[in-house]
Homo-oligomer: A and B are copies of this chain.
Amino acid sequence: MNASAGPKAPGGADDATTSDSASMPRSGRKVTTSNRQSPRKSGDERWKELLDVSARMFADRGYAATSLQHIADELGMLKGSLYYYIKTKDDLLYEVIRGVYWEGVANFRRITTGPGDAVDRLEHAIQGHVRYLIDNITATTVFLHEFDQLSPGRREELSALGYTEQLRDLIRAGQAEGSIRPEIDASMAALAVLGATNWIYRWYRDPGSRGPDEIGRQFSDIFVSGLVSPSRKA
Q: Which residues of A contact B (CB under 8 A)?
A: 1-2, 5-13, 62, 64-65, 101, 104-105, 143-149, 155, 158-164, 181, 183-185, 187-200, 202-203, 209-210, 214-215, 218-219, 221-227
Contacts and interface: CB of A to CB of B under 8 A. Distances in A.
A200 B195 contact: yes
B11 A164 contact: yes
A225 B64 CA distance: 41
B148 A198 contact: no
Contacts of A145: 1, 145
Give the oligomeric copy count: 4
B65 A144 contact: no
Nearest to A146: B1
Given A188-B219, A196-B193, A6 B148 contact: yes
Nearest to A223: B226
A108 to B, nearest CB: 9
Contacts of A225: 181, 225-227
B9 A101 contact: yes
A63 to B, nearest CB: 8
Given A8-B160, A13-B187, A64-B65, 8 more contacts: A9-B162, A9-B164, A10-B164, A11-B190, A62-B149, A64-B64, A65-B149, A192-B196
A196 to B, nearest CB: 4
Contact of A144 (B7, B159, B226): B7
30 contacts: A1-B145, A6-B147, A6-B148, A7-B143, A8-B160, A8-B162, A9-B101, A9-B158, A9-B159, A9-B163, A9-B164, A10-B143, A11-B164, A11-B190, A11-B194, A11-B195, A13-B187, A62-B148, A145-B145, A164-B203, A183-B221, A188-B215, A188-B219, A191-B203, A192-B219, A195-B196, A195-B197, A195-B202, A222-B226, A225-B226
